C-alpha cells in the first residue's frame, strides 16, 4: 500500500504540472496572436528587391520572345501522321487472312 500512495502522489503532481504547462501554452499562443496582428495584420516579411522599369521591360520582352518562338515552333510542326486508305485496306486484308488461317487450323483439330 505504501507504493500505491507514493504512485498516487506522483500522478497528482504530474496532472498539476500538465495543467500548469497547458496554461503557459495558452499564454504563449495569446502572445503570438498579439504579435502577429502587429505590422498590419501580417507577419514580418523581408523587403524585396526593387527592379527598375527598364529591367522589367527587358524581362517582359525576353519572355514575349520566348512565347513567340514556342508558338512559331508549334505552328511549323507537322500534324499527326495518318495511314492512307490503301494502307488501311492492306492491313485489313492481312488481318482477315490471318484470322482465316487460325479458323482453318481450329477446324482441322
Cα gap 5→12, rounded to integer Å: 11
Report phi then psi at 77, rounded to 5.
-80, 140
Q: What is the pLDDT of residues 72-102, one digit of tens each?
A: 888 877 777 889 999 999 999 999 999 999 9
Specify the residue for cell string 495558452.
Answer: 26
Q: Provide the whole-model pTM.
A: 0.32
Domain count, the chain: 1
Is residue 18, in this structure, part of any structural domain at all? Answer: yes
pLDDT at 60: 97
Cα gap 44→38, rounded to integer Å: 9
Is residue 60, in this structure, part of any structural domain at all? Answer: no
Q: Which three cell numbers stand for residue 9?
A: 502522489
pLDDT at 44: 61
Q: What is the pLDDT of residues 5-46, one digit of tens each?
A: 788 889 999 999 999 999 999 999 888 888 777 665 555 667
Position 105 confidence tier, pLDDT thresholds 50, 70, 90: very high
Q: Does the structure show a pLDDT above 60 at 1?
A: no
Is residue 35, in this structure, part of any structural domain at all? Answer: yes
Cα gap 56→64, rounded to integer Å: 12
Between 76 and 53, the higher pLDDT residue: 53
Is residue 14, in this structure, part of any structural domain at all? Answer: yes
Report phi then psi at 73, rounded to 5.
-65, -35
Is residue 32, in this structure, part of any structural domain at all? Answer: yes
Amino acid at each position: 500500500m505504501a507504493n500505491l500512495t507514493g504512485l498516487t502522489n506522483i500522478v497528482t503532481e504530474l496532472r498539476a504540472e500538465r495543467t500548469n504547462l497547458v496554461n503557459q501554452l495558452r499564454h504563449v499562443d495569446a502572445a503570438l496572436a498579439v504579435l502577429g496582428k502587429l505590422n498590419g495584420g501580417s507577419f514580418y516579411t523581408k523587403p524585396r528587391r526593387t527592379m527598375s522599369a527598364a529591367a522589367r521591360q527587358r524581362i517582359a520582352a525576353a519572355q514575349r520572345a520566348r512565347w513567340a518562338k514556342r508558338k512559331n515552333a508549334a505552328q511549323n510542326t507537322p500534324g499527326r501522321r495518318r495511314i492512307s486508305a490503301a494502307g488501311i485496306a492492306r492491313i485489313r486484308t492481312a488481318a482477315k487472312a490471318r484470322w482465316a488461317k487460325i479458323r482453318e487450323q481450329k477446324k482441322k483439330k
